[in-house]
Structure 1
Amino acid sequence: MKEAQAAGIVTDPRASQIERLKAQVAELKERLAERDADLAELMAFKSLAISRLAAQHAEIERLRHQAASDEDIRRLPTRGSSVTTHRPCS
């Protein structure tokens, strides 16, 4: 058995298991690094999206406040208010 192992014919099962586990660990480390990079990218996107939504909300609130305080603006009727319909001329 020792002569066969020395000739490279029969490998030690522990050595092959160690090599297999080393390859598996390397693959898992690579996958983990890719997931970490994806997570960082998604977190940056989330942060940007939230900041854009906050800026849009602030602009809408500013415009609503401006419209409410401006007397030169005529308000259009809303769906809930009574609207007089006009008949077409005949």
Structure 2
Amino acid sequence: MRISADQRTQNENRIRAAIDRLLRGEIPPGGGCDIKTLAAAAGVDRTAFYGSRPYAHLRAEFEHRLAQLQNNGETPDPKTAQIERLKTEIDNLKDRLNQAYSTIEELTDFRSRALARLAAQHEEILRLRAATDPNANVTQLPTTRQKIIGPC
């Protein structure tokens, strides 16, 4: 079905208004900043935006403006921004977890080496004690008690 020039102009105006709303972040519930939501918000069939259809140039304009916003670090769709933020957070947490695993592995290795050194030192102490004459450094105390003068 053909549409008149006035209808086409009205549709283009509705589409441009919908583009502006979407790029300002006024995303309808359940929608996103995409062609499907744009078509629904403008009341136009989505297929009119593809190929050599009447509104393909508006789709290109929408995608170009959306890309410019994203290149500037802005995201009109809060869901997309949240997804990107969560992906970044997940990557950071994975890095921290890998660091923690590495630290645990290093500390476990250090603990094992420290215990082995302590055991070796203990064995050396026992060996040295057994090798020396037990009476060589021992002073004998007198066997009789001496009388202590003074108050007790």
Q: What TM-score do the two structures reach when normalised by structure 1?
A: 0.71
Q: Of the two, which has the highest radius of gyration?
A: 2
CA change 1:60–1:39 in 2 (3 A) is same
2:130 is matched with: 65
User: Is the aligned partner of 1:25 residue 2:87?
Assistant: no
> What secondary structure, in the 3-state scheme, does the structure 2 residue paired with 1:15 have?
helix
What is the CA–CA distance in structure 2 between the aligned matches of 1:11 and 1:39, rounded to whole Å? 42
Q: 1:2 to 1:17 in 2, by over 3 A?
A: farther
Instruction: Find the counterpart in structure 2 of residue 87 from structure 1.
Output: none
Root mean square deviation, CA, Å: 2.4
Q: Equivalents in 2 of 1:17, 1:74: separation in Å?
A: 79
1:52 is aligned to 117
The aligned amino acid for 1:39 is I
Bigger RCO of structures 1 and 2 (CA < 8 A, at least 6 apart): 2
Q: Report the CA distance between 1:60 and its aligned residue.
A: 0.5
Structure 1 runs not aligned, ≥5 long: 84-90
Cα shift at 1:82: 4.2
* Equivalent in the alignment of 2:106: 41
Write out aligned runs for 1:75-86 (5 A): 75-77=137-139, 82=141
The count of residues paired between Structure 1 and Structure 2 equals: 77
Moved >6 Å (runs of 4+) = none
Give the alignment's TM-score, normalised by structure 2.
0.44
Residue aligning to 2:136: 74
Deviation at 1:40, TM superposition (A): 0.8
Distance 2:100 2:89 in 1: 16
The residue type paired with residue 19 of structure 1 is E
The aligned amino acid for 1:48 is: R
